[in-house]
Copies of this chain bind each other. A is one copy, B any other.
């Protein structure tokens, strides 16, 4: 019961699919897969201008403890993103440049951490991207067990090991592994459609016109008036 496990092998989505999802951007992927999977506005990047995708290796950790992050390194594969959730809220910065060095050495593409990180200047310099809830230096001990590669949840979203993590300046989105290919198709279709919309908007056309919103507005009881009395 409640056993703590480190799961060595997980299924991952097709690498090419993951990589193409990484080029798209979180907002489009999120829309395309039905507006689910966003980890929330409080999980922010420590860097600007980075856009990645990777397969989730998940960690469920005690707050203020990083032993399970250490334990997770050897089950990571090149192209993975480490996702760390906690059993209670915490501002501890139990992840810094040393752990990033270790993860980079194993090909990990980035970190999503529902607590704090430190050494942020170094992490930016090293080019190891991080999305976290806090920047903080209160360190971590290595004394309480947890799990690696079990389902976790952050910001109301359930993340299964092997799910695809997309992250950029807007935040983090999770694509369920089995939906990755479908989500990619949806996203690419959406992007194609948006290109046409963008061209019209650049030309000064109005969304109320080509989306047909004007009738809808009037039907909903919105009145056009010249001036407010």
Interface residues of A (CB under 8 A from B): 1-10, 25-27, 30-31, 33-36, 38, 40-41, 44, 48-49, 51, 63-64, 67, 70-71, 73-74, 85-93, 96-99, 101-102, 105-106, 114, 116, 118-122, 134-139, 141-147, 149-154, 156-158, 161, 168-171, 173, 179, 182-183, 194, 197-198, 201-204, 206-208, 211, 213, 216-217, 220-228
Q: Are B6 and A224 in contact (CB under 8 A)?
A: yes
9 more contacts with CB within 8 A, not counting A2-B179, A35-B138, A90-B90, are: A1-B183, A36-B87, A49-B121, A67-B217, A70-B207, A119-B170, A121-B169, A149-B228, A153-B157
Q: Are B33 and A1 in contact (CB under 8 A)?
A: yes
Alpha-carbon distance between A5 and B226 when the two chains are bound, in angstroms: 10
Q: Are B153 and A158 in contact (CB under 8 A)?
A: yes
Q: Hey, which chain B residues are within 8 Å of A93, CB to CB? A: 27, 170
What would 29 A/B residue contacts be, using CB atoms closer than 8 Å? A2-B36, A4-B220, A5-B228, A6-B222, A7-B228, A8-B226, A25-B122, A30-B139, A31-B137, A35-B138, A35-B139, A38-B137, A40-B89, A41-B134, A67-B213, A70-B213, A71-B222, A73-B208, A87-B138, A88-B92, A101-B201, A102-B206, A105-B202, A121-B169, A136-B170, A142-B211, A146-B222, A150-B228, A153-B156
Q: Are A220 and B153 in contact (CB under 8 A)?
A: no
Alpha-carbon distance between A194 and B198 when the two chains are bound, in angstroms: 46
